[in-house]
Chain A
Amino acid sequence: MYLSFTDADLIRLPRWVGTANYSALFGDGTFLRSLEVTATFGLSVTGLETLLGLALGFLMHLRSRFSRLLQAVVFAPVVLPLTVTAIAWGYLVNPGSGAINRLLERAGVPTLGWLQDPGLALPTLVLITVWKGVGLPAVLYLAGLKQIPGELLEAAEVDGATPSQTTRRVTIPLLGPTTVLVVFLSLVSTVQSYVLVLLMTQGGPLGRTHLIGYFIYQQAFQFFHMGYAAAASCVLFGLLLGLGWLQLRITERRVHYA
């Protein structure tokens, strides 16, 4: 916190500069742009992870011989190092020799510059992030589904509800607390994430993947603007505190309903 009010650059002694770092930040186009990119990225990943997590939770809950296998495989990327993720996917989405474009080529469909096209780079990163992260929401939903008492579902059936009605009116509302948890866990982790950007796109093309975490990393460890980076960290922290406060408010309301 103290650092954010100084011009620390690791060479000279830090000097007190008051709120200069903060006023500079909010006039810095790259920073403002990174807030926008982070919001788009965070909301897309969270939306997809929640929906896909719910679907995968249901799928794991199905009584299939392969449910355990599905759970093991879907959760595996969660523990996988990001370097390995970046290498495996970097090759899959490679414009020339990557598997995805080669399959498209065979199908006679035009190939795409997954990480090179300014409009596609962020969606591609969202896809990779969801692949890596969705295992946690999925097992959280699975745990939630297992906790729903069977009598409740039977009661709905006795009352003449169709399976899809039961799912929409009984199961999904009962998963409400899980959904709140999943949404906030996912938001909090995506708002700070940037390692894939560091390894795969370095913020490009045209700054379209310049997340706030990457902004901080670049200011601190490429330009050595420690004070400036600390100020950006404080803004990020403020954002996260806001999210935490929001989650607390929503959780409290939920408890009153239950």
Chain B
Amino acid sequence: MRKARPVQDTLVLLVTAVFAAPLVWMVLTAVKSQADVYMGPLWPRSVHLENFRLAWETAPFGRYFLNSLVVASVTTASVLLTSILAAYAFARLRFAGRDWLFLLALGTLMVPGEVLLVPNFVTVKRLGWLDTYAALVVPFAASAFGIFVLRQTFRKLPVELEEAMFVDGASPWTVLWRLYVPVTLTSAAAAAIFVFLGAWNALVWPLVVTGSTAMRTVQVGLASLIYDQGYNLPVLMAAATLVALPVLLVYFAFQRLVVEAALQSGLKS
């Protein structure tokens, strides 16, 4: 424990409190009675945990959570797999047009998601994928950013290690999974958490490509509660808390990795 420095400590805590306030306020409101929200004191007078149960029941949140979990997991697994394979190919294999293809893949980084919203929607509609898991996953199943980050990490490994394995009769496939993947586990994990959170938080794309309740994700479900005029404020706050909870848990558990991945994504440009 570092020694106390009253001035710095107070300043740091004050700023922390300001940033935390909106979320703290959300959780406090989530456990209030409806009367307290409008008239009562800022601090809840009694704790109403049943708001969480009511929130869970106002919409088929069980189904929404399941959908989000499936979509985010499959997207993450797929991005990891495609990134590992492509990154190895771009980093170590020799084939005609490799550098040219790599530039092309990097070029897709330049085109932001918002610009692709309309063309991707038209493509998915023509494929007849509207309202399916495929529409939610396939457009995000590969990521130039993942390829780029892993390629950089792969290239840092001395080529001699790989050559030694080849001399011992290993195939490129073995080299990839036994050598490259294990040593780059941290950066792959960071990328994976980042992709997962991104997929979990996605709102606009799931909103436009899903129509039925059975296909909706948590974000779409929560957004429709906002538009629902007759809502009960504490219950809305409870629903928001439930949706925020998994994200915040993952974030606080893997904070270092998440921040590192965010820094990398910032530094890429």
Binding site for B on A (CB under 8 A): 1, 3, 8, 10, 56, 59, 62-67, 69-84, 86-92, 96-97, 99, 102, 131, 136, 139-140, 143, 181, 184-185, 188, 192, 194-195, 198-199, 213, 216-217, 220-221, 226, 229-230, 233-234, 236-237, 240-241, 244, 247
Contacts and interface: CB of A to CB of B under 8 A. Distances in A.
B37 interface: yes
B262 A83 contact: no
Contacts of A77: 19, 23
A30 B114 CA distance: 19
B13 interface: yes
Contacts of B37: 97
Nearest to B123: A3
17 contacts: A3-B119, A62-B8, A76-B251, A77-B19, A79-B258, A80-B201, A83-B223, A88-B23, A88-B26, A92-B22, A97-B38, A140-B263, A181-B269, A184-B269, A229-B118, A230-B118, A237-B115
B25 interface: yes
Contact of A91 (B122, B237, B263, B269): B237
Given A8-B122, A217-B204, A64 B5 contact: yes
B15 A87 contact: no
Interface residues of B, number: 63
A84 B23 CA distance: 9
A139 B203 contact: no
Contacts of B138: none
Contacts of B13: 66, 69
B222 A84 contact: yes
Interface in B15-43: 15-16, 19-20, 22-23, 25-26, 29, 37-38, 42
Contacts of B116: 233
Given A82-B203, A87-B240, A140 B247 contact: no
Contacts, number: 189
Contacts of B29: 91
Nearest to A231: B118
B164 interface: no
Given A91-B237, A140-B263, A10 B19 contact: no
A91 B121 CA distance: 33
Contact of B19 (A73, A92, A136, A217): A73
A198 B219 contact: no
Contact of B252 (A72, A96, A143, A198): A72
A99 B236 CA distance: 16
A84 to B, nearest CB: 4
B202 to A, nearest CB: 9
Given A64-B5, A87-B26, A240 B112 contact: yes
Interface string B78-113: 000000000000000000000000000000001111
Contacts of A234: 115
